[in-house]
Amino acid sequence: MRKVPTAILISGRGSNMLALAKAAQSPDYPCQIVMVASNVPEAEGLQRAADLGIPVQALDHTPFEDREAFDQILHHKLQESGAELICCAGFMRILTPWFVDQWKNKIINIHPSLLPKYKGLNTHQRALDAGDRFHGCSVHFVTADLDSGDVILQKKIKVTPRDTAETLAQKVLKIEHPLYVEALRKVAESR
């Protein structure tokens, strides 16, 4: 079985990256993680990836004069890695339309809401403020419009009266990991 070369973009501890990387170690998983890159050089996830033997790339975004200059370097590094798919896993940067166009239908992201609800940040508090009975996460294709690409898979959880933004975040993170692994498999197998 051919494994699709896949890169993962992170900005923090990399818990979703770790779930994907561990799944990819299985002989029957259709992806191989060829690089983990972060725009935050001290991101904990870079060391976690390196510990698994995955090539890592720290690309600090702060010295770049604009988003596109950073995205061009990132694009070049991804091409060098041989990646054919990109997973954004807690990557806290909005990619430019130019970058998204270079990787059209090849970038997926996990988002902590039941899209199209609550695009952007603070999704857990927004779900509570709206009195939602259900909340969850979505894996979707990345487009130039924030959190607007086609949804690949979603999973929902019940919101209880005792929930806070913090407890919802913990509950959603638990379902994110297996959902992202399943969604990446689905995308890779359909290529």
Active site residues: 111
Give the span between the Cα atoms of 154 and 186, in whole angstroms. Answer: 13
Helices and strands, counts by H and E, the chain:
6, 7
User: With contact defined as beta carbons under 8 Å apart, do 176 and 137 qualify?
Assistant: yes
Give the span between the Cα atoms of 183 and 153, in whole angstroms. Answer: 6
User: With contact defined as beta carbons under 8 Å apart, do 155 and 179 qualify?
Assistant: yes
User: With contact defined as beta carbons under 8 Å apart, do 18 and 50 qualify?
Assistant: no
Give the span between the Cα atoms of 68 and 150, in whole angstroms. Answer: 24
Q: State how far Cα 183 lies from the chain centre.
A: 11
User: With contact defined as beta carbons under 8 Å apart, do 36 and 46 qualify?
Assistant: yes
Q: Are strands 56-58 and 134-141 parallel, antiparallel or unpaired?
A: unpaired
- CA-based nearest residue to 182, from 143, 154, 144: 154
